[in-house]
Structure 1
Amino acid sequence: MKQATQNKQLSDALLILWAGGAALLSYSLVYALRKPYTAASFEGLTFLGSDYKVAVTTIQILGYVIAKFFGIKIISELKKEKRFRFFVSSAILAEAALIGFGILNPPYNVIAMFVNGLSLGCMWGVIFSFIEGRKVTDILASLLGVSMVFSSGVAKSFGLFAMNEMQIDQFWMPAVIGGFALPLLVLMGYMLKKLPQPTAEDIALRNERVILDGKGRKKLFMKYAPILSLLFIGNFMLLVLRDIKEDFLVNILDMSNQSSWLFARIDTIVTLVILGIFALFAFFRNNIKALLWLMTLVIAGCLTMTYVSFFYETLNLPPITWLFIQSLSLYIAYLTFQTIFFDRFIACFRIKGNVGFFIAMIDFIGYLGTVTLLSTKEFLNIELEWFALFNHISCAVGAICSILFTIAGLLIYRKYTQEMKTKTTKFFMNPQYNTI
């Protein structure tokens, strides 16, 4: 018995190393295909009267938004045997677009970034589909999620290094970095493809994951509409804030006297802290307790964002300390929904579906907000002081999301207790248990 337990623990540990490592590296490499351009300033360039970098960012995100919209259907209905082919095709198209960005003359090469965003919009959902519905998904999803934090800083740092130390042109820099990343990404995708399928124990604990057609998606949303509406609105704001931080951090903070690797160092520390926190949820076998504690964690992160932003001048924090606290608070809130939350939500309410539907929905809504914000800024020709803008938005987002997620948490608990009462009533009303 003891030997069997030890073998099982070893098997779980090996699965975590295999699946978690492949998931983490996969999305890190996706960032290498998508985000290095954010390290460039593109000073002095415009596109149709707009700031060139804002135009590049907006157009790439527009492609990303369109991919997310179609991803609601694609990821929800993607069969397991087609995942790897879709994965590889998306990666190759993304690198081809970056090469086009280098070949075409500015400012018209921005169209290449639209294709790049379009090709990568479904990658998160595809990668997550390989690892969801397992008893160790909390740990696997944590590794996948923190790759987003870590990779954002690393992509910028590699971009700065390539331009500053290797003297690579700012338009070719994304393609060069993507060229190194592409073969590694395909290898990671192959490793995910070879993962063993969820076991009977996984299915008992986390529910079987199945494809979800249009009728099923509508039925699912309507059943949990009040809860999901609040979560989607909150995530809309969190994602807009996260995108502003990621894409314009070099505008928010003065990097002229800082190391090219500053972003990577800060995000590495944030990554380790979040990974440690999220990994603790693997010890929660009770899904409703896990959900409620996750909501508490999210609310705490949102309140911290509001406090640090509102009292910034009073606190007089050094810029690096401010960046660390903001990054940690924002990513705890944002990544909770991108990783653990919906996997537990499906398990708690025994939903017939998959995580891809939820994540594609919140991402589509969120990125649509980012495109709207950036487009409005350029259309109205508003001159922004990026640091002040981020602080003000962070304060408002943190406060509003705290309210939304508190209400959502209460509704989740009420929904769960109602369903438990219904199941208990049906159990005792079953003639098999009627002794009269």
Structure 2
Amino acid sequence: MWPIENNYKHMKTMPAVFRMSFPKRSTYMLMTGAFLCYTGMYAVRKAFLAGQYLDAGFYGMDLKTVLVISQVLGYMFSKFLGIKLVSEMTPNRRAISLIALVGFGLLMLLAFAVLPINLKPFALFLNGFPLGMVFGLVFSYLEGRKNTELLAAALSATFIFSTGLVKSAGLWLMQDFGIGEFFMPFLTGLLFFPFFLVSVRMLSSSQQRSTEDLMLRSERLPMNARQRMDFLRKNGLVFGGLVVVYVLLTIVRDFRDNFMVEFWAELGMHGSPQLITLTEIPVAVLVLVIAAFGVLIRDNRKAFDYGIYLSMTCCIGIVVLTFVFEKGVMSPIWWMIINGVGLYLPYILFHCLIFERFIAMLRFSGNVGFLFYTADALGYSGSVGVMLFKEFSGSQVTWVNFLGDLNQIAGIIMTAVCIITLILLHGKSKRQPEFALNT
């Protein structure tokens, strides 16, 4: 470790132009590959959400809610499994693992199309089960680089833009080609699958991390069980605060994403498939520009603080603006756009910057996959819990009002936890002078 640290300190004296340089061809290939890869996965995971399934019931329950819960349960279990598998994955196994996971998910959509109603939730459970590990495998190509924020911004664009794109594609297949709701998810996934295969090839052909990457961000290695526990013992309190914020963001973002079609129908805008994509475009552009700006901040501690302060601003914003919307002062379209920015910006900052810089700050030779999958597993557990509450509590609250309540409760809690996390981190810096030097 000493030579890397020694060289890292020396690099601070280098001209800024040299420190900011990076191989453009490799960067573009990684950005494009990450975007297409996760878009292909989203087509396999999210396309079924374009349907409403109003003509079919499930033992007295709303079928779509049952389907969403089934898939998210599979996705959640995948996240728990990913804590071990993704954090221990070696580079030579990534590409074949990506193809196998998404290919199996696509086959389960075919099963979803042909199986009877009572077995369709099981097919979506199996569809979600492998897909939860895709993000960690894709991100493992991007992490630990001096321009990781820029690369991760391209990957994160799929969270906002591609989720609307695949739903619009699904609605297009149903409305213009007469495809049924149950076959639509498989055909949508099949439509995007060739692009997914090309993207895996692009990621696999990208350049390895340079010496400069290692100096700036720390080495990224597979983590076994002992190393994972060691990380938690040393950094558990600060990481725990980050996880709480991430879990709440996942719950609200996932609820907004899963029932977007219902929100627009309830707001009187049913039958406009392009609206889902068009309203998410400004969200994607604004969020990704702000998140990618983090690549310009070379100091890891300052970049981490930048992410946390922006997250706090967004949390306060969604509370205030939801209150304004509920008073009838703001239009539904503007509320959905601004609400999307307020939720997606901190969510993407965790993916682009906060976890990445946390590892770099610690100079810990592990990988971000462990952090993501611990947080994601708990986040999707919370998401399932909220959907079960909405379905079985007997609540008559509308979809839009339920989202508004989630915004306000989660926003207040997240703001408080962000403040506590910064206090804990400040205390850690005081107790461990070497920690402050490594930022």
C-alpha distance in 1, partners of 2:349/2:18?
Answer: 31
Q: Are 2:82 and 1:71 equivalent residues in the alignment?
A: yes
Residue equivalent to 1:392: 405
User: Structure 1 422/233 Cα, relative in aligned 2: closer, same or farther at 3 Å?
Assistant: closer
Counterpart among 213, 224, 242 of residue 224 in structure 2: 213
Checking the alignment, whether the CA contact within 8 Å between 1:240 and 1:370 is kept in structure 2 is yes
User: Structure 1 9/282 Cα, relative in aligned 2: closer, same or farther at 3 Å?
Assistant: closer
Deviations 1:377-407 (A, max 9, x none): 3333434411110001101111110110111
Residue equivalent to 1:411: 424
TM-score, L = length of structure 1? 0.92
Shift of 1:8: 9.4
Q: Are 2:85 and 1:104 equivalent residues in the alignment?
A: no
SS in 1 for 2:145: coil
- Could you list the runs of 5+ residues in structure 1 that have no partner in the other structure? 425-436
Checking the alignment, whether the CA contact within 8 Å between 1:150 and 1:264 is kept in structure 2 is yes
Shift of 1:7: 10
C-alpha distance in 2, partners of 1:114/1:421?
Answer: 46
Residues 355-366 of structure 1 mapped to structure 2, 5 A cutoff: 355-366=368-379
Shift of 1:15: 2.2
Matched AA of 1:28: T
C-alpha distance in 1, partners of 2:270/2:426?
Answer: 50
Checking the alignment, whether the CA contact within 8 Å between 1:288 and 1:413 is kept in structure 2 is no
User: Structure 1 334/143 Cα, relative in aligned 2: closer, same or farther at 3 Å?
Assistant: same
Deviations 1:243-291 (A, max 9, x none): 1101111212226455311111111111111121112111111000000
Residues 257-406 of structure 1 mapped to structure 2, 5 A cutoff: 259-314=272-327, 316-406=329-419
Residue equivalent to 2:11: none
Residue equivalent to 1:142: 153
User: Structure 1 421/185 Cα, relative in aligned 2: closer, same or farther at 3 Å?
Assistant: closer
C-alpha distance in 2, partners of 1:68/1:78?
Answer: 14
Shift of 1:237: 1.2
C-alpha distance in 1, partners of 2:421/2:17?
Answer: 40
Checking the alignment, whether the CA contact within 8 Å between 2:264 and 2:270 is kept in structure 1 is no
SS in 2 for 1:343: helix
Matched AA of 1:379: F
Deviations 1:25-64 (A, max 9, x none): 1111111111011111100322233210000000000000
SS in 2 for 1:109: helix
Q: Are 2:38 and 1:30 equivalent residues in the alignment?
A: no
TM-score, L = length of structure 2? 0.92
C-alpha distance in 2, partners of 1:274/1:256?
Answer: 25
SS in 1 for 2:273: coil
Checking the alignment, whether the CA contact within 8 Å between 2:241 and 2:418 is kept in structure 1 is yes
Residues 245-260 of structure 1 mapped to structure 2, 5 A cutoff: 245-254=256-265, 256=269, 259-260=272-273
C-alpha distance in 2, partners of 1:410/1:155?
Answer: 41
Kindly tell me the number of residue pairs found equivalent between the two proteins: 421
Checking the alignment, whether the CA contact within 8 Å between 2:303 and 2:357 is kept in structure 1 is yes
Counterpart among 108, 122, 134 of residue 123 in structure 1: 134
C-alpha distance in 2, partners of 1:194/1:108?
Answer: 40
Matched AA of 2:205: K
User: Structure 1 257/70 Cα, relative in aligned 2: closer, same or farther at 3 Å?
Assistant: closer
Checking the alignment, whether the CA contact within 8 Å between 1:142 and 1:340 is kept in structure 2 is no
Residue equivalent to 2:249: 238
C-alpha distance in 2, partners of 1:423/1:365?
Answer: 29
Checking the alignment, whether the CA contact within 8 Å between 1:227 and 1:408 is kept in structure 2 is yes
C-alpha distance in 2, partners of 1:9/1:333?
Answer: 25
C-alpha distance in 1, partners of 2:239/2:219?
Answer: 21
Shift of 1:148: 0.9
SS in 1 for 2:164: helix
Checking the alignment, whether the CA contact within 8 Å between 2:160 and 2:344 is kept in structure 1 is yes
Deviations 1:154-205 (A, max 9, x none): 1221111111112110000000011111222122112111111101110000
Deviations 1:119-139 (A, max 9, x none): 201000000001111101110
Residue equivalent to 2:124: 113
C-alpha distance in 2, partners of 1:155/1:322?
Answer: 22
Deviates more, 1:271-280 or 1:409-418: 409-418
C-alpha distance in 1, partners of 2:175/2:193?
Answer: 23
- CA-atom RMSD, angstroms? 2.0
Residues 38-57 of structure 1 mapped to structure 2, 5 A cutoff: 38-57=49-68
- Could you list the runs of 5+ residues in structure 2 that have no partner in the other structure? 1-14
SS in 2 for 1:339: helix
User: Structure 1 91/407 Cα, relative in aligned 2: closer, same or farther at 3 Å?
Assistant: same
C-alpha distance in 2, partners of 1:257/1:99?
Answer: 27
Checking the alignment, whether the CA contact within 8 Å between 2:429 and 2:436 is kept in structure 1 is no
C-alpha distance in 2, partners of 1:82/1:51?
Answer: 40
SS in 2 for 1:108: helix
Checking the alignment, whether the CA contact within 8 Å between 1:299 and 1:401 is kept in structure 2 is yes
Residue equivalent to 1:432: none
Matched AA of 1:237: L
Residue equivalent to 2:195: 184
User: Structure 1 8/135 Cα, relative in aligned 2: closer, same or farther at 3 Å?
Assistant: closer
Q: Are 2:240 and 1:229 equivalent residues in the alignment?
A: yes
